[in-house]
């Protein structure tokens, strides 16, 4: 064992695991194009203040989960725990509004949270996220939720549910928080430690406590305390979701763990996942850009947790094919065979055929074993006999069938064979 090991809560992604990452990321990128999103990449480190101001001083993320350190000049920096604050910062800093409004942006990348590692909960994890800036129209919220629904369907997941809520504006929520405090006050001595702490700092989080579920059951619903504008927004969102044919459930207990949300909040839950069942979450944040020093700009977005989606695919036994299959393994023997193999590999690759040229000192039978191990569809052999007759031997690794053909025609014939499959 090496002296160097991974940091707790992080992982190496390799081998069979990679096909899931390719499948998910490629599906997302294709779908983002279909929906008209542009990619944005922001730095992994930002000034700490961006997150404490953006996500909220009293949230678990800011209170206890950030990877924060001082750089050599004593400036406090933080590894991004999520994408929204960074993308909002980039939107303001680069005046993205000048490229038109609304802006529809997506990102895929790692996030960092110092949480207790367990199944589905990592310290470095990947999100696929999207943010829309510059429209408060509920069509934007509906489109985002539809995207997430479409995406999980495209991945061939079935056991998931979209849950939506509206948590009002900051003003209307103040009134509701008072009502909630009155409800929880007499129950407080019997509630868990987290609930006791959050009673004063973040009362709405008591609603999604995993321990005190019973207490939350009879709690007053935020939906009875919504301001007129939020109520109308919520009604319209549901109207559009119905038009998009997206099944959803209204759940007034969806409150989210970040402070920037206004009006829409939503989550997607997977039923086979145990404790870490939330595979995506998002909502509207109409005050965030202004809070970060930008012009008043409404926003809405979501993030999907890639590791959790992989787990969901595995639990549902969804078959995922590797996208990087080897079409042809080029095997050779002798010096002349080697040179002919190099030329042929170049030609095959130019035609877009996934080609693996033997680059080790293996004999022919070793090269066949290697090709087998790599799951190559065909092996093209250029040995001494082939050189002397100016031919190659092609072996179909699945059927075992072997044919000999003129060297000049190899790439055309292979393209043909692959097309026929």
CB-based contacts of 187-192 (< 8 A; 24+ apart in sequence): 187/215, 191/215
Q: Does 84 bind ligand HAM (CB under 6 A)?
A: yes
15 assigned to a ligand binding site: no
Binding of ligand HAM at residue 252 (CB under 6 A)?
no
- What does the block give as tokens for 194? 């987290």
Which one of 181-189, 244-252, 299-307, 311-319 is the stretch in contact with ligand HAM (CB under 6 A)?
Answer: 299-307
Interaction between residue 269 and ligand HAM (CB under 6 A): no
Q: Quick check: 66 and 45 in contact, CB under 8 A?
A: no
83 assigned ligand-binding residue: yes
Residue with smaller CB distance to ligand HAM, 282 or 294: 282
Contact present, 397 and 350 (Cβ < 8 Å): no
Least separation in angstroms between CB 274 and ligand HAM:
13
Residues in the chain: 421
Counting contacts by CB under 6 A, is residue 83 touching ligand HAM?
A: yes
Minimum CB distance to ligand HAM smaller for 11 or for 370: 11
122 known member of a binding site: no
Taking the least distance from each CB to ligand HAM, the nearer of 256 and 377 is 256
Query: From the list 51, 91, 125, 225, which residue makes contact with ligand HAM (rule: CB under 6 A)?
Result: 125
| Interaction of residue 264 with ligand HAM, rule CB under 6 A | no
CB nearer ligand HAM, residue 54 or residue 337: 54
- Asked whether residue 127 is marked as a ligand-binding residue, the answer is yes
Please name the residues in contact with 239: beta carbons below 8 A apart, sequence gap of 6 or more: none
Closest approach, Cβ 91 to ligand HAM, in A, equals 12
Query: What number of other Cβ atoms are within 10 A of residue 101's Cβ?
Result: 12
- Cα gap 386→404, rounded to integer Å: 9
Mark the segment that binds ligand HAM (CB under 6 A) among 155-163, 181-189, 279-287, 351-359.
Answer: 279-287
- Catalogue the long-range contacts made by 316-322 (C-beta closer than 8 Å, 24 or more residues apart): 316/156, 316/157, 316/158, 316/159, 316/272, 318/155, 318/156, 318/157, 320/19, 320/20, 320/23, 321/19, 321/23, 322/16, 322/18, 322/19, 322/22
Task: Please report, for residues 26, 125, 132, 299, the alpha-carbon distance to residue 39 in angstroms, rounded to integers and kept in the order given.
Answer: 13, 19, 12, 16
If binding is defined by CB under 6 A, does position 278 make contact with ligand HAM? yes
Interface of this chain with ligand HAM, residues 94 to 123, rule: CB under 6 A: 113, 115, 120-122
**Using CA atoms, how far apart are residues 284 and 333, in angstroms rounded to an integer?**
64
Contact between 349 and ligand HAM (CB under 6 A)? no
Count CA atoms within 13 Å of residue 323 on its CB side: 10
Asked whether residue 82 is marked as a ligand-binding residue, the answer is: yes
8 Å CB contact between 410 and 380: yes
Under rule CB under 6 A, residue 308 binds ligand HAM = yes
DSSP 64: I
Give least dist CB 307 to ligand HAM, A. 5
Residue 323 assigned to a binding site: no
**161 is an interface residue for ligand HAM by CB under 6 A:** no
Identify which of residues 113 and 173 has a Cβ nearer to ligand HAM in the complex. Answer: 113
Q: Is residue 37 marked as binding?
A: no
Q: How far is the CB of 39 from ligand HAM (least distance, A)?
A: 15
Distance of CA 59 to the CA centre of its chain: 22
Which pairing describes strands 355-357 and 378-382: parallel, antiparallel, or unpaired? unpaired
CA distance 139 to 142: 5
52 — phi, psi (to 5°)?
-65, -40
Q: Enumerate the known binding-site residues.
A: 82-84, 113, 127, 131, 256, 260-261
Q: Enumerate the known binding-site residues for L-histidine.
A: 82-84, 113, 127, 131, 256, 260-261
Binding site for ligand HAM (CB under 6 A): 82-84, 113, 115, 120-122, 125, 127, 129, 131, 257-258, 278-283, 301-303, 305, 307-308
């Amino acid at each position: 064992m090496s002296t160097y090991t991974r940091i707790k809560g992080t992982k190496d992604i390799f081998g069979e695991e990679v096909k899931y990452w390719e499948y998910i990321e490629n599906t997302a990128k294709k779908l983002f194009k279909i929906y008209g999103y542009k990619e944005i990449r922001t730095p992994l480190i930002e000034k700490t203040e961006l997150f404490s101001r953006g996500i909220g001083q009293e949230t678990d993320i800011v209170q206890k989960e950030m990877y924060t350190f001082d750089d050599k000049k004593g400036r406090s920096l933080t590894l991004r725990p999520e994408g929204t604050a960074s993308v909002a910062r980039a939107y303001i800093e680069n005046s993205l509004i000048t490229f038109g409004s609304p802006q529809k942006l997506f990102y895929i990348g790692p996030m960092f949270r110092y949480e207790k590692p367990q199944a589905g909960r990592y310290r470095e994890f990947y999100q696929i996220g999207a943010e829309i800036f510059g429209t408060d129209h509920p069509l934007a919220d509906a489109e985002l939720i539809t995207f997430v629904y479409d995406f999980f369907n495209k991945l061939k997941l079935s056991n998931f549910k979209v849950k939506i809520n509206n948590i009002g504006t900051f003003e209307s929520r103040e009134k509701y928080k008072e009502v909630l405090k009155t409800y929880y006050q007499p129950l407080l001595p019997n509630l868990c430690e987290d609930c006791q702490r959050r009673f004063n700092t973040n009362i709405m989080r008591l609603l999604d406590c995993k321990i005190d579920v019973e207490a939350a059951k009879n709690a007053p619903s935020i939906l009875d305390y919504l301001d007129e504008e939020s109520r109308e927004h919520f009604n319209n969102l549901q109207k559009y979701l119905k038009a998009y044919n997206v099944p959803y459930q209204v759940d007034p207990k969806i409150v989210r763990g970040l402070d920037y949300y206004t009006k829409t909040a939503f989550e997607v839950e997977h039923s086979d996942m145990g404790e870490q069942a939330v595979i995506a979450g998002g909502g509207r944040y109409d005050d965030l850009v202004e809070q970060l020093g930008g012009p008043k700009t409404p926003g809405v977005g979501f993030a999907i947790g890639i590791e959790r989606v992989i787990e969901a695919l595995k639990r549902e036994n969804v078959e995922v094919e590797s996208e990087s299959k080897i079409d042809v393994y080029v095997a050779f023997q002798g010096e002349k065979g080697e040179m002919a193999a190099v030329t042929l590999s170049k030609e095959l690759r130019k035609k877009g055929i996934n080609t693996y040229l033997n680059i080790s000192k293996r004999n022919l039978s070793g090269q066949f074993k290697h090709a087998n191990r790599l799951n190559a569809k065909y092996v093209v052999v250029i040995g001494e006999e082939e050189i002397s007759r100016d031919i190659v031997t092609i072996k179909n690794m699945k059927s075992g069938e072997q044919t000999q053909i003129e060297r000049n025609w190899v790439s055309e014939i292979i393209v043909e064979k692959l097309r026929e499959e």
